[in-house]
Structure 1
């Protein structure tokens, strides 16, 4: 019996060694590792229920839909980044890790990020479109067009009933009332809004009746501004040849339209300020440029006149040069005549000396006469040659002197001065014409708001003659008081007979 019992124990130990028996903790731990390794970080959408927010700072809740539910935990180091307070029944979008709570063996989700489902989906679509259009180059600075310095006409694409249009028009009238405004009315939110915005941009680009476009609306939620995140609108703005200013929402709001437009304004009023200069500052700049141009032209003329006078003083007078050359030639001729005469005297003395030594030597005389004639001929030939050389030298000097006379340069400088003077007069006439046109326009604008037009329609202005105070209520005068009535032409001095306050 003892031998049999020992054998049974050995068999049981062998069977137990063959089987791998898991403790509960090991099973749950390996299941957790398997779950966490099988699922990546993923997004889950559902409804919050059984919400618990204990003092530890952690958040526990159940995420459910129509068919299933799962326990969720969001720890304190993650929920301090929430931009809203979770509530039961709220539809949320979660970025989670799949896990298993070992203490109770429950399947659960560890929440890394939580956002409201509706705005979160729109935000993801916005970020995806922004990334894709940015990769295509629609936001590159190289494609941005510069705004015109002084536009004649400005187009506005917005709702005609919105406050944005009134803000833009008010700023434009205040800063530069001469600019024309063209409104392209569209719906700025709703299902048809994006299509209307695209059509308005294409129509303005096709008509080309304005110099710059302002597209925008007032502030709102992401859903309200969603029409301005439309891809077709972004491509229409990118293809538009007109420079476009985007003024959508408030300063903190950003849309796809802001990134693809040539200029982004924080508010509609700021867009109007970017589109036109301030009229008074522009006129001051214009006057400053006119003064600078006049000063530059005046300085240029003074410089040219001074340079011309300097050239005139530095150039010797032609008659002085001719007189000096004539004196030199006369002196040379006198020296030549003196030398020739001296040579003749020498020959004559030699001849006389020979004549004294020879008495009637006819052959010698004839021979000496022949030599004398030969020498005389040679002397005359040498004289003519020398005279011809002197004349040629004189002609050469006279030709060089004529080439040095700056008459042609003087004429060219005079022509340049005359041309600059004509250009100056023409530019000044053009600037004066522009100033007259601008003044006439301001006079017409002033006449349009003048109170005299109201008087012309039969109205009058009644005031007290001593103080000039305008009378607007009957109780401010009493019978017997003198009043002054201003008409469109002339004025009347009247006396109050009766006062009727009604």
Structure 2
């Protein structure tokens, strides 16, 4: 069915479909992505995998749609009565005209304050350009020493050391022990970064801890630590939590690893790959040296074959000198013959270009062209004279003076308008009649209209 609106008199009448569509556009364009807190009720989970529920507080409620594609990484399954914090877009379901929220993420309300602070800090630092990849420092391909900033008692340190020992045990490691959660943890980590900067005994740092809740990772979401990482001249790799845990430190670090183990793998080359590469380089170097020695031996053999006794060499040089002298004498004879032939040719050309002969030819040519020009001028004058006579005869035939000479007159008004009909004047008007010789001024007595 086609949707349209029409004018009834001066009123614009909307269809229901158009009204819902435009109301949806107004709602979606008027509100940004929002955080909304409330209690879940009327939760429904159809076979499609989507979730539909109402979010309410003491005074009001609103319908919500939480589509299956947005539910990845959901920490807790929603249930009726749960107090939650949702990040959602305001919209309208056109089919029923229901005002609703389209949910993009959902979490229990206990972490809501920390989550909002996290989002606000992330937006502010991003606006300052602190997450820009252009400002991140490159990581060393083979670190001389890796500094690890983490707790000295956790499993994270063991995982990092085990990974480095397995992949490349030649890289030394320096531990910078710090608390990784609790009050004052962010300040102590920032102070350890400054200490590493002053000592300059590591060319890359790993900042690491295990996974946990948003509250457990709060030290890595502090602005103080973020700016300390940015100010550190040593490249920092952040490996905090699990792959789904993303902190502010991950955004500002020079590289992010999904786990502490991945951070160690990122900075350490695989020793087996390097050993294989060394083996390939060894074989390549051996082949190059063998080829070079073979080429040198061939060159020695070639030079030895060319080595001759000085007497034999003098004999060959003498024979070559004799041959060159014969070629020189033959070349001189050929050159003299060519010179004589050229001289004869130039002498013949000089005779052909003798000025006396050339001036005689030019004189004859001048007399010939002068005669032709005189004949052409005479013919042109005769033709022009005949044409002028014909044009004069035609002009005399067509001239109005010839008509006047036969007794006719040209009558015109005082303004010079030639009269062609009697209706152009009335009795009493002055006119002038022009004759073959002279003119007569007249006055109209009577007008005769003859058709």
**CA distance in structure 1 between the partners assigned to 2:269 and 2:300 by the alignment:** 44
Secondary structure, aligned partner of 1:266: coil
1:268 offset after TM fit, Å? 1.7
Counterpart selection for 2:136 from 143, 146, 161:
143
Structure 1 runs of 4+ aligned residues shifted over 6 Å read: 54-57, 77-80, 327-332
1:205 offset after TM fit, Å? 2.4
Aligned to 2:57: 63
Aligned to 2:39: 48
**CA distance in structure 2 between the partners assigned to 1:75 and 1:261 by the alignment:** 37
1:220 offset after TM fit, Å? 1.1
Aligned residue-pair number: 283
**1:53-132 alignment runs, 5 A limit:** 53=43, 59-60=53-54, 62-64=56-58, 70-75=59-64, 83=74, 84-88=77-81, 90=83, 92=85, 110-113=100-103, 115-132=107-124
**CA distance in structure 2 between the partners assigned to 1:132 and 1:315 by the alignment:** 83
Is the 1:48–1:62 Cα contact (8 Å) retained in structure 2?
yes
1:215 offset after TM fit, Å? 1.1
Is the 2:210–2:242 Cα contact (8 Å) retained in structure 1?
yes
Q: Mark the CA change 1:319 to 1:95 in structure 2 (over 3 Å): closer, same or farther.
A: same
**CA distance in structure 2 between the partners assigned to 1:251 and 1:85 by the alignment:** 23
1:145 offset after TM fit, Å? 0.9
**CA distance in structure 1 between the partners assigned to 2:131 and 2:245 by the alignment:** 19
**CA distance in structure 2 between the partners assigned to 1:145 and 1:80 by the alignment:** 35
Give the structure-1-normalised TM-score: 0.47
Alpha-carbon RMSD across the aligned residues, in angstroms, is 4.2
Secondary structure, aligned partner of 1:252: coil
Q: Mark the CA change 1:282 to 1:316 in structure 2 (over 3 Å): closer, same or farther.
A: same
Aligned to 2:289: 297
Secondary structure, aligned partner of 1:234: helix
Secondary structure, aligned partner of 2:57: strand
Aligned to 2:423: none
**CA distance in structure 2 between the partners assigned to 1:60 and 1:276 by the alignment:** 51
1:134 offset after TM fit, Å? 4.3
Deviations 1:173-214 (A, max 9, x none): 333334322111111122312222222222212212123321
1:287 offset after TM fit, Å? 4.0
Secondary structure, aligned partner of 1:146: coil
Counterpart selection for 1:247 from 239, 256, 262:
239
**CA distance in structure 1 between the partners assigned to 2:316 and 2:220 by the alignment:** 91
**CA distance in structure 1 between the partners assigned to 2:208 and 2:172 by the alignment:** 18
Aligned to 1:419: none
Q: Mark the CA change 1:300 to 1:202 in structure 2 (over 3 Å): closer, same or farther.
A: farther
**CA distance in structure 2 between the partners assigned to 1:139 and 1:213 by the alignment:** 20
Q: Mark the CA change 1:265 to 1:301 in structure 2 (over 3 Å): closer, same or farther.
A: same
Q: Mark the CA change 1:323 to 1:271 in structure 2 (over 3 Å): closer, same or farther.
A: same
Secondary structure, aligned partner of 1:257: helix
**CA distance in structure 2 between the partners assigned to 1:55 and 1:291 by the alignment:** 65
Q: Mark the CA change 1:306 to 1:256 in structure 2 (over 3 Å): closer, same or farther.
A: farther
The answer to whether residue 263 in structure 2 is matched with residue 271 in structure 1 is yes
**CA distance in structure 1 between the partners assigned to 2:206 and 2:179 by the alignment:** 15
**1:465-476 alignment runs, 5 A limit:** none
Is the 2:146–2:173 Cα contact (8 Å) retained in structure 1?
yes
**CA distance in structure 2 between the partners assigned to 1:327 and 1:78 by the alignment:** 102
Q: Mark the CA change 1:145 to 1:127 in structure 2 (over 3 Å): closer, same or farther.
A: same
Is the 1:158–1:185 Cα contact (8 Å) retained in structure 2?
yes
1:275 offset after TM fit, Å? 2.6
**CA distance in structure 2 between the partners assigned to 1:283 and 1:259 by the alignment:** 35
Secondary structure, aligned partner of 2:175: strand
1:52 offset after TM fit, Å? 4.5
Deviations 1:94-136 (A, max 9, x none): 758699xxxxxxxx98544465444344444434444554451
1:225 offset after TM fit, Å? 1.8
Aligned to 1:218: 210
Is the 2:136–2:253 Cα contact (8 Å) retained in structure 1?
no
Is the 1:94–1:111 Cα contact (8 Å) retained in structure 2?
no
Question: Where does structure 1 lack aligned partners over 5 or more consecutive residues?
Answer: 1-32, 65-69, 100-107, 333-502
1:91 offset after TM fit, Å? 5.6
**1:336-351 alignment runs, 5 A limit:** none
**CA distance in structure 2 between the partners assigned to 1:298 and 1:128 by the alignment:** 66
Deviations 1:63-105 (A, max 9, x none): 14xxxxx211215577996754255472645758699xxxxxx
1:217 offset after TM fit, Å? 0.7
